[in-house]
Chains A and B, each alone.
Chain A
């Protein structure tokens, strides 16, 4: 910019732009405002559309829709309940969080405290690249690589040993050997949300004022003690906010999960059983549902519920992250 201004030929052009300025400013302001309002209108429109579509199902099943485990789309005896898909959605996402958070913490800790400076950028970029892979690729990779791996090297190898553990053994005991299961879905989801959580954690760890850490080191604290006593307490709320962000993404993920979860509308008895999620059920059944049918309405209804669940999770994460950034 300054280069251009210094060249004599550029001066008239600058003048001309200035006279057009006031109109341009107004136009620009109007466009920006329009864009902002458009987002609100779109969001509102989606909620209203979902709700109107879902209304017949809510009317027909009432509050029982939320707790019923029946999902029977066969003509003449349609009965729909959201509980199994809500359960599958939340459990697969929480398991994914449980798998992803320790690894993400390791990545963030390594990148901010341990890694030599020349390594930080390549590893940071690699982690962020994971976030750029389309979810359908994760789905295919999950189906062709991860599922056979889980089947052969986890379920067959350790399944019976795990099932023999007292009290919690039933969680690992399954008669389903196809490898597509709640566990596989959680693994794929964990890999997908890892970069989001790791990037948030790294960013907030870096925000800790160096003087705090240096003081702690000055008192003779080890690296781990600094992490546990200074960095984590200082960033706790933001870390939780980052995790919620990952959770929000995991809840709505569709294709990757559909490929590996086994799509069974039954209550899973163990983590190796097939299950389903709200997004999968919609993706699988919407194309064959008739317009105006109870089935389509029920699909709208679970979509509406997913919207609410995601909204609550995202709002919580925003709220947690904001309070930290202001401080």
Chain B
């Protein structure tokens, strides 16, 4: 409660002089506010810049974390919330929210093994699980050697690194581990933060990357966008079809194409999908939009949909450049249909009519 008031207060204080100065210039411009996940922040900010010129919608996005985004949209202090993990049907009904995906993100594994080239190391799901369960403690473990006959892997202790701050990235990675291992599912489980049996925790992608860079033998999971920009050495991973795949755009796009987007609430499962070239650890990031906007919020609700409609039509290049994976066009159409059918004005008519 207090935190929210404080946030709003600070926001208002900062915005006040700006609003005064630009009141005239902004008179024609629609402003929408959103809050939530940190993972898609670079993308939403870039989209916001482009959309301001293209469709005159000004987006103000606060990346306060998925949990904070859910809290704020539940209290209706913002126009939309953003979450990395999908909400369940009960959670959505209870809060009268519509959930739809914007893009996919992928999580990759990065290891510090001197003498091993980028994307050369091959890991199987079993090896990854046992590393994070603490069962594989040295890099010369027979199973790792077996999968990498052509590599000279240094005999170092394995140092797992994880995100200590609650994060969607952790949720995606632990969901994957739970999917491929019943032992992980019964043990630490899946969540935005879990009880890690071994390893060191750090804050954010940058903290995990720092541990990996500083510690020979360390291995951790990070967002692909961060790994690409910071040139982290990543690894191959064996997917459900039994092929070793590199964490590269074709493998991510294959995952987006293989997903079933017609499931309720778009909670499409893109983790560990079948397909020869699919990268197994990807996940959509979601927007939460009230289905029952009050009369004075109808316009903001419509503008939110206009913004994302524009992003679906024009924003895919921007997304790809920033290493996010655009959704297939069929998924975009399903989202628009959901806007039309689910989001209603107080008088019961559809907010989205395009």
Residues of chain A whose beta carbon lies under 8 Å from any beta carbon of chain B: 49, 70-77, 143-144, 147-148, 151, 175-180, 258-259, 262-266, 274, 276, 280, 283-285, 287-291
Contacts and interface: CB of A to CB of B under 8 A. Distances in A.
A274 B201 contact: yes
Interface in B155-177: 157, 159, 161, 164-167
B56 to A, nearest CB: 32
A180 B194 contact: no
A71 B65 contact: no
A260 B264 CA distance: 43
B199 interface: yes
28 contacts: A70-B195, A71-B195, A73-B166, A73-B193, A73-B194, A74-B188, A74-B194, A143-B207, A144-B210, A176-B159, A176-B199, A177-B157, A177-B215, A178-B159, A178-B215, A178-B218, A180-B211, A259-B202, A264-B201, A266-B195, A274-B200, A283-B165, A284-B203, A287-B64, A287-B67, A287-B166, A288-B193, A291-B75
Chain A: interface secondary structure? loop
A72 B164 contact: no
B133 to A, nearest CB: 13
A76 B193 CA distance: 13
A148 B196 CA distance: 23
B211 A178 contact: yes
Contacts, number: 112
B192 interface: yes
B267 interface: no
B57 to A, nearest CB: 27
Contacts of A288: 65-68, 165-167, 192-193
Interface of B: 2, 64-68, 70-71, 74-75, 137, 157, 159, 161, 164-167, 188-203, 207, 210-211, 214-215, 217-218
Contact of A262 (B66, B71, B188, B201): B201
A259 B195 contact: no
A289 B200 contact: no
Contact of B201 (A72, A76, A263): A263
A262 B189 contact: no
A270 B345 CA distance: 61
Nearest to A258: B203
A291 B201 contact: no
A291 B194 contact: no
Contacts of A274: 199-201
B195 A147 contact: no
Contacts of A144: 210
Contacts of B210: 143-144
A143 B209 CA distance: 12
A147 B203 contact: no
A151 B215 contact: yes
A151 B227 CA distance: 24
Contacts of A180: 200, 202, 211
Given A178-B215, A284-B166, A288-B67, A72 B202 contact: no
A144 B199 CA distance: 19
Contacts of A264: 196, 199-201
B103 to A, nearest CB: 20
Given A73-B194, A177-B217, A180-B211, 6 more contacts: A70-B195, A73-B193, A151-B214, A177-B159, A180-B202, A258-B203
A98 to B, nearest CB: 23
A175 to B, nearest CB: 7
Contacts of B159: 176-178
Contacts of B70: 290
A263 B67 contact: no
For B164, B203, B217, the residue with the greatest tally of chain A CB atoms inside 10 Å of its CB is: B164
Contacts of B192: 73, 288
Contacts of B198: 175
B215 A284 contact: no
A147 to B, nearest CB: 7
B214 A179 contact: yes
Contacts of A72: 189, 194-195
Contacts of B64: 287
Contacts of A147: 214
**3 shortest A-B CB distances, which residue pairs?**
A288-B166, A263-B201, A263-B164
